[in-house]
Amino acid sequence: MLSTGCNYAKLKTNLRLAINRLKLLEKKKTELAQKARREIADYLANGKIERAKIRVEHIIREDYLVEAMEVVEIYCDLLLARFGLIQQMKTLDEGLAEAVSSLIWAAPRLQTDIAELKIIADQLAVKYGKPYALAARENGLNSVNEKLIHKLSVQAPPKILVEKYLIEIAKSHNVPYEPDSEVLAAEEEAQKVTINDPLIDLGDEAKPPEPGFISGLPQNEKSMYPGIQYPQPDLPKPFNYPVPNVCGKGAGVPPVPSTQPSGPYPGPVANPNHIGFNIDGPAPPYESVVGGKPPFNASPFAPT
């Protein structure tokens, strides 16, 4: 009896095998690219510029392929790390959608070098259905990694990239090389156009600056947005101190007496013998106050 479900053990095994094979291929292709760079340096030294450019295009495609393999390796590692979600969930998890779609899309393009990718793509198609697999192969769901699509695309590299490779190879191997001036000029012109393009379309008619505007200085908010009604800020108000209640209850100032004094206080003219005492009669004699004893002299030099 044939099994109709996904073979999880087979899927996990081929994911691990694919990671190991990808690492070996990346290392091998990187070493071959280093040797090819030395050959290109020899071409430049001998004046074979056109042959060096053709050889550089091959190196660029190999570098793209190595970068694409690195992306596929990351996705295989991600599926292994989240293999429990693949086993337990019947539907595709959102965190795995890009990895699954990218592996299915890359399988027919890399299966010549990595045969395990075909087995991985077949098991994922069994798990999530053939309609999903067909849509992923054509990127109908727009869920395939854009970098992977760019690196595996079949197209000639741009001329400016070829020139940059040649300049770098000549510099690293101490070989004289004069880059193509037309290609560099076209690249500079393209950069100027990109820099001068406005990020926001302000319309066909450019508004002139308002009076009083100085370039390089920030404008006032009200002059920048004249149509907006700005709220008026609350101005500070002075503090009104309360009037002291002199005669009221609870006031800190004593009240004014309601009756006049009974008589005038004696002054020094009216009472010359008793200055400082508010009495009308003369002061009593000293003996009647202290009982006939002489007063005590605090100083020994005072007269007795």
Cβ burial, residue 285 (10 Å; 0-12/13-18/19+):
exposed
93 Rama sector, left if φ>0, alpha if ψ -120 to 50, beta otherwise: beta
CA pseudo-torsion sign 162, 168, 172, 178: positive
Q: Please check whether residue 274 is in contact with residue 283, taking contact to mean a CB–CB distance below 8 angstroms.
A: yes
**150: Cβ contacts below 8 Å, ≥ 6 apart:** 64
**163: Cβ contacts below 8 Å, ≥ 6 apart:** 179, 180, 183, 184
CA pseudo-torsion sign 90, 96, 97, 102: negative
- The length of the chain is 304
- Residue 10 scores a pLDDT above 60: yes
Q: Please check whether residue 123 is in contact with residue 116, taking contact to mean a CB–CB distance below 8 angstroms.
A: no
Q: From CA 172, how far away is CA 37, in angstroms rounded?
A: 10
pLDDT at residue number 291: 56
Q: Identify the CA nearest to 102 among candidates 72, 124, 128.
A: 72
pLDDT band at 5 (very low <50, low <70, confident <90, very high): confident
Summarize the confidence of residues 214-234 as an average pLDDT: 51
> What would be the CATH architecture of the domain defined by 8-161?
Up-down Bundle (1.20)
pLDDT band at 156 (very low <50, low <70, confident <90, very high): confident
pLDDT at residue number 179: 82
pLDDT tens readout for residues 91-105:
999 999 999 999 999
pLDDT tens readout for residues 239-261:
565 555 555 555 455 555 555 55
Joined tokens for residue 122: 């077949």
pLDDT at residue number 40: 93
Count the Cβ atoms, other than its own, within 10 Å of residue 304: 4
What pTM was computed for the model? Answer: 0.60
